Structure 1
Amino acid sequence: MPPLRTRLLPPCLVALALLAGCGSSTDPNAATPGTGSGTTPGSGSGADRTTIVMIPKGTTHVFWKAVERGARDAAAAHDVDLVWKGPLKENDRAQQIQLVQQFIVQDVDAIALAPLDQDALVTPVADAAASGIPVVIFDSALTGTSGTDFVSFIATDNEAGGRLGGDHLATLLEPGDDVVLLRYLVGSASTLQRESGFLAAMADADHDVLVENRYAGPTAGEAKTTALNMMSSIRAAKGVFCSNESATYGMLLALRQEGLAGQIRFVGFDASPPLVEALRTGEIDALVVQNPRRMGALAIETLVRHLRGEPVETVIDTGAVLVTKANMDDPAIAPLLE
């Protein structure tokens, strides 16, 4: 049971709390954006149970499903209730802000958040802290100081991950070969850092980036459309880098449609069954793969320790590896592709 805390709602949430109290008797979670699962706050097996809410950027990518598995394993191990709920699309800042505000009003014990936007979620996180609700940031950075503005930041070293992918792509290219970068979303700190690391690797290897200012959007379908619109530049290039799962898959679909899959050197980020299969067939040369289950587990474990008054690390790097056809079946790597 967490220590008793005095909860004072920030003024901006008082109206929201009053509206919630004056509304109908319908379950307040029923109309919440996104998909959720787990125990409704306040409805657990006892009022003294700890409820931790985990708010990812989205709920459809394979990556987030793996984060959820890790979080649920950790929640079960520590005998705490976990609520998992995120926006339907990874570009919907308003939904994610609404979710944070909702769970502040519901007075949950702690929140783990993967912010869609490194700046837009600063105020909601500050509101949670002002209400006595500790927040761990995971996957993607939030503007602020870890250990002060929020409890801990748990993520891949994304700039290093982007450089890892860029360095490998450079080994596959000839001197003077050009490349194309397909970015993910404006404001997404994790992918911005990966893209920065990739561009640094290309600069060090003297490879020009023909296109580096196009954004895939939140879905593979949108990424495919963006990639098709870049096809003249892609045809002129010898290599392509994409900074997340949906951008990588959308690019793969576009290359297949144009008959270029396996003809252009291609490094992506994250893993899903279609991407793993493309790696095995040679349509993708390499994937930079994170450890999402570990990330989810550590987010929950860190909050549990913090609620118990134990010291926690303010920054935790959950690691990333470069996966190729040559090493994808190694015992240390294969589980990351499941």
Structure 2
Amino acid sequence: MRNRMTAACLLACLLVAPAACRRAPVTADGRARLLIAVIPKGTTQEFWKGVHGGAARAGRELEVDILWQGPIREDDREEQIRLVDSVRTRGVSGIVLAPLDNKALRRPVSDATRAGIPVVIFDSGLDSQDYVSLIETDNYKGGHMAGEHLASLLGGKGPVIMLRLQEGSASTTQREQGFLDAVAAHPGITVVSSNQYAGPTSEGAYRASENLLAAFRANAGGVAGIFCPNESTTFGMLRALQNANLAGKIRLVGFDSSDKVLQGMRDGQVDGVVLQNPVAMGYLGVKTMVAHLRGEKIERKVDTGATLVTAQNIDQPDLRERLHPGQALEAR
């Protein structure tokens, strides 16, 4: 009779509640395996590939699963909001998010927090306190570094242009302000344009750059130097300078790298880029979240650092991962 009851219970378990009969995934030391959602601003640029590679590296080391989902375009706020809302229903343990907009993402982050899902913010700040840690570059400092470098290249004088990325992006807004404050310390430098936005794609940046170059080449003073605050604006401006036969004649300082931007530097057409550490952002974003979930002490804010790269230090071995962040993803 006892054997029959045991068999009946086992059959009921298999037919009625199969999920309850399976053990949840565990790590090698017996802890429940966590699922961490990582949601970047975009997925196509080298920067985000580096973030993905860093997150995957942390996942392997810490024995957690990574759910990588992000919008294709870096201006698709609605898609990023939808992704944050959707992962809340997928059983994630935590969310690691790079907000496209420092205000528009407040509501979905707040909803996740109220649902008991902690959020780590990275790359760009959020106009809210509903997160456990912020992992980012000191963007103001990076922009200031770029401004000082351009001012030095120009001998402290001449007309300059700054091409902005897009409204609502806290990271690039801080870089832009850092740049403006740096060049303002040099009375001989005049910022002739700082109110034009490129949008999130290199093609949009290229068109905006063409328009700026056409407008200021017609002026008597022309333009002596240019600052661009991210990868797509830097490459878009480089293309426009090349097509106008101005590459190498106008000083160009950018932010973040790609193979084409680095080739421009080797060719004497890009005078410097400020590099972040996207691989570290992805890695530390996941590592910080896992530490929080496991009850360990974490830092409220982590600076992943910024480095100025020029033709003089481009081949330093310790800069390779920052110069080619996408290779971290390829090496998974």
Task: Confirm or deny a common fold (TM above 0.5).
Answer: yes
Distance (Å, rounded) in 2 between the aligned partners of 1:233 and 1:154: 39
Superposition pairs of residues 31-46 of structure 1, within 5 angstroms: 46=25
Match of 1:19 in 2: none
1:95 equivalent among 79, 94, 102: 79
Give the SS at the match of 1:312: coil
Q: Is the 8 A contact 2:35 2:91 kept in 1?
A: no
Ranges in structure 1 where 5+ consecutive residues have no aligned partner: 1-43
Q: Does 1:205 align with 2:182?
A: no
Distance (Å, rounded) in 2 between the aligned partners of 1:104 and 1:234: 49
Superposition pairs of residues 168-317 of structure 1, within 5 angstroms: 168-206=149-187, 207-235=189-217, 236-317=222-303
Distance (Å, rounded) in 2 between the aligned partners of 1:117 and 1:282: 35
Match of 1:8 in 2: none
Q: Is the 8 A contact 1:162 1:243 kept in 2?
A: yes
Distance (Å, rounded) in 2 between the aligned partners of 1:224 and 1:233: 14
Distance (Å, rounded) in 2 between the aligned partners of 1:210 and 1:62: 30
Q: Is the 8 A contact 2:54 2:278 kept in 1?
A: yes
- CA deviations on 1:106-125 (whole Å, 9 max, x unpaired) are 23110000000000001110
Please say which structure displays the higher CA radius of gyration. Answer: 2
2:102 equivalent among 114, 118, 125: 118
One-letter code of the match for 2:87? F
Shift of 1:292: 0.6
Shift of 1:163: 0.3
Shift of 1:331: 2.3
Cα distance change on mapping 1:335 and 1:290 into 2, 3 Å: same
Distance (Å, rounded) in 2 between the aligned partners of 1:45 and 1:285: 53
Shift of 1:330: 1.6
Q: Is the 8 A contact 1:211 1:233 kept in 2?
A: no
Give the SS at the match of 1:112: strand
Match of 1:329 in 2: 315
- The size of the alignment, in residue pairs, is 293
Q: Please, what TM-score do these two structures have when normalized by structure 1? A: 0.84
1:63 equivalent among 37, 44, 47: 47
Q: Is the 8 A contact 1:180 1:234 kept in 2?
A: no
Distance (Å, rounded) in 1 between the aligned partners of 2:316 and 2:216: 32
One-letter code of the match for 1:166? G
Shift of 1:232: 3.2
Give the SS at the match of 2:134: strand
Match of 1:12 in 2: none
Which of the pair is proportionally richer in helix?
2
- CA deviations on 1:264-290 (whole Å, 9 max, x unpaired) are 000000011111111111100000001
Give the SS at the match of 2:75: coil
Cα distance change on mapping 1:234 and 1:107 into 2, 3 Å: farther
Match of 1:41 in 2: none
Give the SS at the match of 1:94: helix
Distance (Å, rounded) in 2 between the aligned partners of 1:103 and 1:317: 27
2:60 equivalent among 54, 76, 82: 76
Shift of 1:175: 4.2
- CA deviations on 1:27-80 (whole Å, 9 max, x unpaired) are xxxxxxxxxxxxxxxxx9738421000000000000000111011001100000
Q: Is the 8 A contact 1:268 1:287 kept in 2?
A: yes
- CA deviations on 1:184-243 (whole Å, 9 max, x unpaired) are 011000000000000001101121111100011111001000111111345311000000
User: What is the identity percentage for the equivalent residue pairs of Structure 1 and Structure 2?
Assistant: 49
Q: Is the 8 A contact 2:59 2:286 kept in 1?
A: yes
Q: Does 1:152 align with 2:133?
A: yes
Q: Is the 8 A contact 1:153 1:315 kept in 2?
A: yes
Q: Please, what TM-score do these two structures have when normalized by structure 2? A: 0.86
Distance (Å, rounded) in 2 between the aligned partners of 1:334 and 1:204: 33
Give the SS at the match of 1:77: helix
